[in-house]
């Protein structure tokens, strides 16, 4: 059995309170006492029981991050950013993935790890307006990441899906592309990432006076590499002419890129390609991938800030906040740009990590 405060206090010949004081850096302790206590702690290999401490003080200094799946590079990089932001402020992060189904997502939100965490960062995937009730029931401090689908009861940090997708599409239009594929649609969806990005795509076409051609909107189930590859292969089989692709995330774009290259289409000469997310891989692919940087790092930082404010100030009084983080269009080789417009170098020598 692990040593307790009590054991330490006995060994050191002081009271339990004194030991607690030493551990919690209470200032006014005689040096000799402190030394005795420290020695006893070392001898017993004592570590405080955090469950007990958490119970007592009512907090755990752990937040949870609820995401679809870590396997997806965007979420892995997001998780990394969140963890850095959180650990800088003394919080650990417990990650829960729910995969890509609505049922699992609902299940995770419903249980939401009880009180063992102080707050939740929740990256919404499929929930929509109809689920607002459910979110109301989550009493714990919660910050929503992802879509701006709730005018709702929670703080919300979002990327600019519509604007980003529009900028991506416009970049291709500017380059003279006229038959631009939208890769990654979720038919019928309006409010999720896929719906919003499709809206941005549509807006860009509208503004350019181009009609929306349904043949050019390619639906997929999920946003994995395999989906991008499969969908692009099926699309090529249909022999529909096209000269550009706006993929709704980078992973889809890479799946499609492989199939395009296999089929002998040159990127960007025959087909200009742009993704969304700015994952690390985009800077080193052949060609490097143009993309929308959604501001992942800032999203993480802002979200953690908001969440900790709710936690630490118990700020239930404050109105829910909505933050839309700015995006950046990054033009690289896949749309005829330089290898990496972000660094302006032939090929970036440092990973684009900014913390």
Partner DNA sequence: GTGAAAGCGCTAACAC
Partner DNA sequence: GTGTTAGCGCTTTCAC
The footprint of DNA (CB under 7 A) covers 1-2, 4-6, 13-18, 20-21, 23-24, 28-30, 33, 46, 48-49, 52-53, 55-58
Which one, of 145, 149, 147, 152, lies nearest residue 65 by Cα? Answer: 145
**CB–CB of 159/182 below 8 Å?**
no
**Residue that is written with structure tokens 């030394």 in the block:** 35
Angle at 166 between CA 341 and CA 240, to 5 degrees: 95
Told to check if 83 binds a second copy by CB under 8 A, we report yes
Tokens representing 73 are: 């590079």
Can residue 328 be called a binding residue for a second copy (CB under 8 A)?
no
Give the residue with the Cβ less far from a second copy, 211 or 351.
351
Per partner kind, with CB cut-offs from 5 to 8 A, the member of a second copy, DNA, none near residue 350 is a second copy
| Pairing, β 328-330 against β 291-293 | antiparallel
- Tokens linked to 59: 């907090």
For a second copy, which residue of 27, 114, 211, 344 counts as binding (CB under 8 A)? Answer: 114
| SS3 state of residue 119 | strand
* Site membership for a second copy, residue 94 (CB under 8 A): yes
- Distance, CA of 235 to CA of 217 (rounded, Å): 10
- Binding a second copy (rule: CB under 8 A), the pick from 23, 29, 34, 54 is 54
Task: Say which entry of DNA, a second copy, none residue 30 contacts (CB below 5 to 8 A, set by partner kind).
Answer: DNA
Decide: is 263 part of the binding site for a second copy (CB under 8 A). no
- The strand pairing partners of 323, in sequence order, are 157
Residue 207 binds which one of DNA, a second copy, none, with CB within 5 to 8 A depending on kind? none
Nearest to 121 by CA among 65, 67, 61: 65
**Judged by CB under 8 A, which of 195, 200, 244, 255 binds a second copy?**
255
Instruction: Give the shortest CB-52-to-DNA separation in angstroms.
Output: 3
Q: Tell me if 219 sits within 8 A of 186, measured CB to CB.
A: yes
Check: CB of residue 218 under 8 Å from CB of residue 194.
Answer: no
For position 26 contacting a second copy by CB under 8 A, the verdict is: no
- The DSSP symbol for 319 reads P
**Contact between residue 319 and residue 165 where contact means Cβ atoms under 8 Å apart:** no
Give least dist CB 11 to DNA, A: 13
Determine, following the binding rule CB under 8 A, whether residue 350 of this chain makes contact with a second copy: yes
Q: Between 48 and 348, whose beta carbon lies closer to DNA?
A: 48
Contact flag: residue 97 with a second copy (CB under 8 A): yes
Give the closest residue to 74 by CA, choosing from 197, 198, 225. Answer: 225
User: Which spans of this chain sit near a second copy (rule: CB under 8 A)?
Assistant: 2, 45, 47-52, 54-55, 60, 62, 69-71, 73, 76-77, 79-80, 83, 92-97, 113-116, 137, 139, 224-226, 229-230, 233, 254-255, 257-259, 261-262, 280-281, 283-286, 288, 339, 346-351, 353
């Amino acid at each position: 059995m692990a040593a307790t405060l009590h054991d330490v206090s006995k060994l050191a010949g002081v009271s339990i309170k004194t030991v607690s004081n030493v551990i919690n850096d209470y200032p006014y302790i005689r040096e000799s006492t402190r030394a005795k206590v420290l020695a006893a702690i070392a001898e017993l290999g004592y570590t405080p029981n955090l469950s007990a401490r958490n119970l007592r003080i009512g907090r755990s200094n752990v937040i949870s991050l609820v995401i679809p799946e870590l396997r997806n590079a965007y979420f892995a990089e997001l998780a990394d950013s969140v963890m850095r932001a959180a650990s800088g402020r003394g919080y650990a992060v417990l990650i829960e993935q729910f995969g890509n189904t609505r049922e699992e997502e609902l299940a995770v939100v419903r249980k939401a790890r009880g009180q063992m965490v102080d707050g939740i960062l929740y990256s919404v995937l499929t929930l929509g307006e109809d689920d607002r009730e459910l979110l109301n029931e989550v009493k714990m401090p919660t910050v929503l990441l992802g879509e701006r689908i709730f005018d709702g009861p929670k703080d919300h940090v979002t990327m600019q899906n519509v604007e980003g997708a529009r900028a991506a599409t416009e970049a291709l239009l500017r380059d003279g592309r006229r038959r631009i594929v939208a890769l990654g649609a979720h038919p019928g969806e309006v409010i999720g990432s896929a719906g919003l990005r499709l809206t941005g795509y549509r807006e860009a076409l509208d503004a350019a006076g181009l009609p929306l051609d349904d043949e050019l909107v390619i639906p997929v189930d999920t946003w994995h590499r395999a989906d991008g590859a499969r969908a692009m292969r099926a699309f090529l089989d249909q022999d529909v002419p096209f000269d550009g692709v706006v993929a709704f995330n980078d992973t889809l774009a890479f799946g499609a890129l492989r199939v395009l290259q296999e089929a002998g289409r040159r990127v960007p000469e025959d087909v200009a390609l742009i993704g969304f997310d700015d994952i690390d891989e985009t800077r080193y692919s052949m060609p490097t991938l143009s993309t929308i940087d959604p501001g992942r790092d800032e999203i993480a930082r802002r979200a953690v800030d908001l969440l900790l404010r709710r936690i630490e100030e118990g700020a239930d009084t404050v109105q829910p906040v909505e933050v839309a983080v700015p995006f950046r269009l990054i033009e690289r080789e896949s749309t005829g740009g330089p290898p990496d417009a972000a660094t302006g170098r032939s090929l970036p020598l440092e990973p684009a990590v900014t913390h």
